[in-house]
Structures are given as structure tokens and as C-alpha cells.
């Protein structure tokens, strides 16, 4: 597992994938199963209780493996604030410490990063960081406006001071929140309020399955204080979201690379023109629920 100080988010996602891969089967046992169901658990690790350690199988000692993973965690969560870490604590409230995972490229906190961070924390038995991330998520990202059709979900992008950049959710955030909370309930047991992990996970899962369809919620808005959004050629050209930075940077990088090869870069507005001239059907980027 390489530690690239220039791109700490890459290592964060690698750790998250590692955590999900090791623990995925555990989630199946996190919720009680009705006695009437006869499930075949197969013959894998969940049933046997023995989990493979691929590092050890490659000749590394258990102590060496633990030290390497702990070093990666310390870098990403408590390393140099300018070049290594993605986790930052932000004071406390009545529920305890607050902490967030930042997306360095866009200077925001995103539900996927927050929930990935919680997955890493619970798998590595880091309860303090887990609770701080979950507290920040509930304090700032949870959508509580009853007129918002996404009420009960988590806004997918927030400024790191807790002010909103988006008003809707992204599904991977909710999915990883629920899984991380189920893991936490099994590892640490349940506490009061938002730290009743099992209850909080079941609440998210119930909402994902049975969220009511809300109507008469008023005109659609991209950001909380925006005027009502109407999709046409003019408004689409002015459309912005936290993903715009990534998209524009990718277009710039591609143009530089193609010019270096003596080629002409594509026109980034061509897809928009085709869409509104009905000469094609490209899907408008980020104009769905991830706003």
C-alpha cells in the first residue's frame, strides 16, 4: 500500500475499499434474520470465523502488517495538515467532538468521504474518529427541512465550515453510512442518541427503502440560496456544482495533452449544443439528485 503524500485521497479510497472488502460479509450478520429463513452461509470466512490476511500470505508478519496499516491511518487522519491528512477535527457540540474528511481538490466535505472515513475508523477500532465523523454528518449534512424531497438523507457536499454546497444526497454516502454503523454496533455496542449505531443504521436503511414521495415541494434549486432552476440552454451554460472544478480541470489537462500531440482538443460545449438542438441525447452532468 503506497502512501502518496501528494494525493492523500487516493490512499483514503484504497483504505476504504480494503475495509469494505474485508468486512462486507460481516454486514450480512449485522441485522437479525427471521428464524423462518434458511440461509446458506457457504463455507467462507463468515461461517468459519477465519479471515485471510493477504499481507501475511505474501510473507509479511502480522506485526509488520498492523504497523503498516496503522502508519497509513496516522498519515491520513493525524499527519501533516498541509500535505498528508484528510481528517480534521472542528470543535465539539453537545454530542461530543466534531470531525470531517475533506476533499482537497474541491475544499469541501462529501458524504462518500465521511462514510468511507467511518468505515476505516470502525475496521481499525478508532471510535473517537468514528464518532466525530458521525457527529459532524448529523450536525451539518443531515437534511431536516420537511419541504426538501430528500429530507432524512445527507447532503452530499458541504463547505468545511458546515455551510451547504448541495441540497441533495448521493446514494453511496447513505450506503456506507449504514454499513459503517452496523459494524460499529457489533464492535462497540450501542450508546445513547446518535450513537445508538444499530438504530441509526436501520433508520437509514428504512428510509432508503420506504422514503415517501414528496410533492408540491416548490421549484427546484441547485444550491440552497439559488433562484428557482429552470433547465434551458442559458441556465445549463451557467450551471455549477462542486463537481465543476474536477470536470474543468480534466478538460484543461486533456487539452494540454492533445495540443502537445499536435491534435485539436474537443469543444467542451459541443455536447450541450447537441442536447438542446435535439441532435443527440447526451445526459446533462450533475443535473440529477446530486446537486
**Residues 154, 156, 162, 165, Cα dihedral to 10°:** -130
Strand partners, 88: 100
How many CB atoms are located within 10 Å of the residue 30 CB?
Answer: 19
Instruction: Provide DSSP, 121-157.
Output: HHHTT-HHHHHHHHHHIIIIIB---TTSTTTTSB-SE
Q: Is the Cα dihedral 290, 93, 78, 83 positive or negative? A: positive
Residue 3 covered by a domain: no
Instruction: Provide DSSP, 238-284.
Output: T---TTHHHHHHHHHHHHHHHHHTT-PPP-TTHHHHHHHTTS--PPP
Asked if 154 and 100 count as a contact pair (C-beta separation under 8 A), the reply is no
How many CB atoms are located within 10 Å of the residue 177 CB?
Answer: 27
Residue ranges in the chain whose pLDDT is less than 50:
1-6, 22-33, 216-217, 279-291
In the numeric block, which cell numbers belong to residue 132? 466525530
Task: Report the alpha-carbon distance of residue 83 to residue 180 in Å, rounded.
Answer: 27
- Does residue 279 sit in the same domain as residue 199? no
**Domain carrying residue 244:** 219-291
pLDDT at 192: 97
Core vs surface per residue 131-141: b (16+ CB within 10 A) or e: bbbbbbbbbbb
Q: Taking Cα atoms as reference points, which of 153, 166, 155, 140 lies closest to residue 204?
A: 153
Domain boundary among 210, 235, 255: 210
Domain count across the chain: 2
- Does residue 103 sit in the same domain as residue 192? yes
Q: Is 199 helix (H, G, I), strand (E, B) or coil?
A: helix
Task: Report the alpha-carbon distance of residue 114 to residue 133 in Å, rounded.
Answer: 6
- Does residue 175 sit in the same domain as residue 97? yes
Q: Is 236 helix (H, G, I), strand (E, B) or coil?
A: helix
- Does residue 18 sit in the same domain as residue 152? yes
pLDDT at 18: 52
- Does residue 23 sit in the same domain as residue 76? yes
Domain boundary among 178, 210, 242: 210
Residue 38 covered by a domain: no
- Does residue 155 sit in the same domain as residue 223? no
Task: Report the alpha-carbon distance of residue 85 to residue 11 in Å, rounded.
Answer: 10
- Packing angle of the helix pair 127-136, 171-188 (nearest 10 deg): 140
pLDDT at 251: 75
Strand partners, 94: none
Amino acid at each position: 500500500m503506497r502512501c502518496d503524500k501528494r494525493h492523500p485521497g487516493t490512499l483514503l479510497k484504497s483504505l476504504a475499499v480494503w475495509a469494505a472488502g474485508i468486512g462486507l460479509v460481516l454486514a450480512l450478520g449485522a441485522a437479525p434474520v427471521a428464524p423462518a429463513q434458511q440461509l446458506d452461509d457457504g463455507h467462507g470466512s463468515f461461517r468459519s470465523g477465519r479471515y485471510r490476511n493477504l499481507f501475511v500470505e505474501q510473507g509479511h508478519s502480522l506485526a509488520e502488517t498492523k504497523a503498516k496499516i496503522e502508519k497509513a491511518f496516522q498519515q491520513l487522519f493525524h499527519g501533516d495538515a498541509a500535505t498528508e491528512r484528510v481528517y480534521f477535527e472542528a470543535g465539539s457540540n453537545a454530542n461530543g467532538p466534531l470531525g470531517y474528511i475533506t476533499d482537497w481538490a474541491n475544499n469541501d466535505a462529501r458524504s462518500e468521504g465521511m462514510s468511507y472515513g467511518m468505515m476505516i475508523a470502525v475496521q481499525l477500532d478508532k471510535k473517537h474518529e468514528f464518532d466525530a465523523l458521525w457527529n459532524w454528518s448529523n450536525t451539518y449534512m443531515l437534511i431536516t427541512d420537511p419541504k426538501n424531497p430528500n429530507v432524512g438523507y445527507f447532503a452530499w457536499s458541504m463547505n468545511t465550515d458546515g455551510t451547504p454546497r448541495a441540497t441533495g444526497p448521493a446514494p453511496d454516502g447513505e450506503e456506507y453510512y449504514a454499513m459503517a454503523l452496523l459494524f460499529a454496533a457489533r464492535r462497540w455496542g450501542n450508546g445513547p442518541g446518535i450513537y445508538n449505531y444499530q438504530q441509526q443504521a436501520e433508520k437509514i436503511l428504512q428510509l432508503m427503502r420506504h422514503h415517501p414521495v414528496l410533492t408540491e415541494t416548490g421549484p427546484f434549486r441547485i444550491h440552497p440560496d439559488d433562484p428557482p432552476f429552470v433547465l434551458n440552454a442559458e441556465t445549463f451554460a451557467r450551471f455549477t456544482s462542486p463537481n465543476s472544478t474536477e470536470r474543468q480541470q480534466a478538460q484543461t489537462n486533456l487539452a494540454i495533452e492533445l495540443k502537445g500531440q499536435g491534435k485539436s482538443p474537443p469543444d467542451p460545449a459541443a455536447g450541450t449544443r447537441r442536447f438542446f438542438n435535439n441532435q443527440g441525447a447526451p445526459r446533462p452532468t450533475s443535473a440529477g439528485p446530486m446537486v
